[in-house]
Structure 1
Amino acid sequence: MKGLLSAAALSLAVSQASGHYIFQQLTTGGTKHAVFQYIRQNTNYNSPVTDLASNDLRCNEGANGRNTETIDVRAGDSFTFTLDTPVYHQGPVSIYLSKAPGSASDYDGSGSWFKIKDWGPTFSGGSSTWNMAGSYTANLPVCIPNGEYLLRIQSLGIHNPYPAGTPQFYISCAQIRVSGGGNVTPSPTALIPGAFKATDPGYTANIYSNFNSYTVPGPAVFSCGSNGGGIEAPSNPSNPTTTLVTSTKPATSAAAPTATAPSNGCTPVAKYGQCGGTGFNGCTSCASGSTCNVVNQYYHQCL
């Protein structure tokens, strides 16, 4: 009996984990490195962090540098974070840096953080589009000082409108050693926790009602030139995106070009989008090439 209960508990944990996503691989210099080789491995599977006062907001729950390698990079180089499954919760994606006082592997992220990239929404014709991708590529600022850093990426899921639903942070930190940099002190900076507040418009935004502008939470993006970061809208057609229609009910994902709307008039949900679950009021039909699968009672996904 005990074995059956343990198996059931493990099955539930895996089922819950499969309903989310995690940034688990880093690419530098054209090489896609092994899973969690240079990214700190967390202990909460691919579940989100939701406590704004928690130190887990820095690099995720249980993520430390003891078993993580540090990769050599040059200022201005590009890098890519890749997930286990593409982002499918609407919301911004941001990248931060924090310089370690010594080695990145010993650094707990308690120092200052500065933001180098935001992927926010674009608005057109009463709808918004988010970059919901399987990987995100950016460049290190060319002017930052040499040294070891935590390179942090976060996806903020605001698909459950606050305060009835709590926004979700999906976070990973890579460890990098920068050379060839400059001597500019990045600003503005913020502490984590502390950079995000329950009163931030980007945290409390309701993407289903009168949603026609958005400010990404956290400090402004630091930039020192063309490779220094900035805000970027979705631009890669190979990455899945979601179009949200401004309305009083939850928006649905954009259908694939070949999909047609079902007889009930809703727009089929794109692959990896939500198609059901307790409290879900959106479309339950999936775009051509995917079907609605039950992840758990709260979340059904087009796969």
Structure 2
Amino acid sequence: MHLNLSHLALLPLVAGHTTFTNLYVNGVNQGDGVCVRMNRDPETASFPIEPVTDKAMACGYDGEKAVSRVCPTKGDDLLTFEFREYADGSQPGSIEDSHKGPCAVYMKRVNDATADNNAAGDGWFKIWQLDYDTSDGKWCTEKLIDNNGLISVHVPPDLHPGYYLVRPELLALHASADSPPDPQFYVGCAQVFVQQGGTAEPRGVHIGEHTYDLDMPALTYNIYQEPLALPYPMFGPEVYRTKGNQRRRDANKLVQDKGRRPDGCILVRDNWCGFEVPSYNDENGCWASSQKCWDQSDVCWNTALPTGNAACNIWQDKCTNIDDSCRSGDWHGPPNQGKDLTPVPKGPAGSLDVFEQ
């Protein structure tokens, strides 16, 4: 019996906070957890970074651990980030209504987005931010809630092509005026490759250990004060603005050589791939391929991110079908050889418009 019942579900996911789970490129969902660095513990995946001086402030807990996939994009493309209360989407919600505060998105150029230990440090530049919108009296996180957890930004069109980390950041201020103050940051990172753009290499800042501290007025801001003390004292560098003479998208091109979907991958589960088992035409070959299928199944279940293991059920069904063929004497296979089993990811559940201050 190959099925291990302990694999049937991830540990119970804890809600009440939020986590970045999905990247969309020009409105196309790249898949749950695909290209995303995130906290790999399902019990704490939605927890804030504490204390605010922690090194994990760069890309979140486990954010120094790269994933195998890198999503391609281009200068001026639209990137959309989905936040969920439950990382696997098993229940609705993006973040609690009480968690009001600003948002920002940063980028950092790296030599290799699939390499570990390149998140914290220098090189981060801000490409978008939104705090309190006086036109409708809403914080950025409230707009995110209204938009089913989605925020969107454009890749600066003049960026030098190459590998980048993209860092969406939410700050919840509901407990920032407490004693002691408890500002709550929620961050993650997407791994992307900018295929073409310009020649710009924006000057970056350090994000990591001790970047933020409780001496910053933005982190002890009282959202309950009436009237609010506006403008909000937004933190971090100024938003990078494209230089007019560097806007040509086709001025510079590079070819991505890391992080692409592997050839022969027939099922995607976040950054894991299932590969077709060897062909067979006798009983021994059938059972040998069955074992190779179940070996991959074990890896699928044991390495799933908090975004879920639905793909592992699909793979398990494939292995079961091979077993059934072996038992019935149908020793020519595997069934549906080479068929792509990856479900089409859901489309965006909200607007892709960029929120403007």
TM-score for the superposition, normalised by structure 1:
0.65
Equivalent position SS for 1:202: helix
Question: Which residue number in structure 1 is paired with residue 125 of structure 2?
Answer: 114
Of 201, 210, 217 in structure 2, the residue corresponding to residue 201 of structure 1 is: 217
Aligned to 1:19: 16
**Offset of residue 225 of structure 1:** 5.8
Given the alignment of the two structures, is residue 215 of structure 1 paired with residue 233 of structure 2, yes or no? yes
1:154–1:171 contact (8 Å) kept in structure 2:
yes
Tell me, in whole angstroms, the C-alpha distance in 1 between the residues paired with 2:203 and 2:37: 25
> Which residue of structure 1 aligns with residue 108 of structure 2?
98
Take 1:75 and 1:220, find their aligned partners in 2: how far apart are those partners? 20
Query: How do 1:131-280 residues align onto structure 2 when only pairs under 5 Å count?
Result: 131=140, 132=142, 133=144, 134-164=149-179, 165-187=181-203, 189-209=205-225, 210-213=227-230, 214-224=232-242
The answer as to whether partners of 2:25 and 2:79 remain within 8 angstroms in 1 is: yes
Extract unaligned runs of 5+ from structure 1: 1-9, 229-236, 240-303
Task: Give the letter for the 1:219 counterpart.
Answer: P
| Alignment match of 2:37 (pick from 26, 36, 40) | 40
Whole-angstrom CA distance in 1 between matches of 2:115 and 2:77: 24
Deviations 1:202-261 (A, max 9, x none): 1111111142310222111111169x9xxxxxxxx979xxxxxxxxxxxxxxxxxxxxxx
Distance 1:207 1:90 in 2: 8
2:38–2:45: 8 Å Cα contact kept in structure 1?
no
Structure 2: distance between partners of 1:190 and 1:106: 19
CA drift at 1:86: 2.1
- Alpha carbons 2:122, 2:204 under 8 Å: kept: no
- Give a deviation string over 1:8-66, Cα, whole Å, max 9, x none: xx99x74xx21111110000133112111111131332111022221110111123444
How many residues end up aligned between the 2 structures? 216
Cα distance change of structure 1 residues 186 and 238 upon mapping to structure 2, 3 Å threshold: closer
Contact 1:188 1:220 in 2 (8 A): no
Higher relative contact order (Cα pairs below 8 Å, separated by 6+ residues): 2
CA displacement at 1:111 relative to structure 2: 3.0
Return the structure number with greater helix share.
Answer: 2
2:285 counterpart residue number: none
Instruction: Decide which structure has the larger Cα Rg and report it.
Output: 2
Gaps spanning 5+ residues in structure 2: where?
Answer: 1-9, 85-92, 248-349, 353-357
SS at match of 2:58: helix
Q: Judge conservation of contact 1:141–1:225 (CA < 8 Å) in 2.
A: no
1-side partners of 2:217 and 2:171: how far apart? 13
C-alpha distance in 2 between matches for 1:148 and 1:65: 16
**1:163 Cα deviation (Å)?**
4.7
- Counterpart position of 2:78: 78
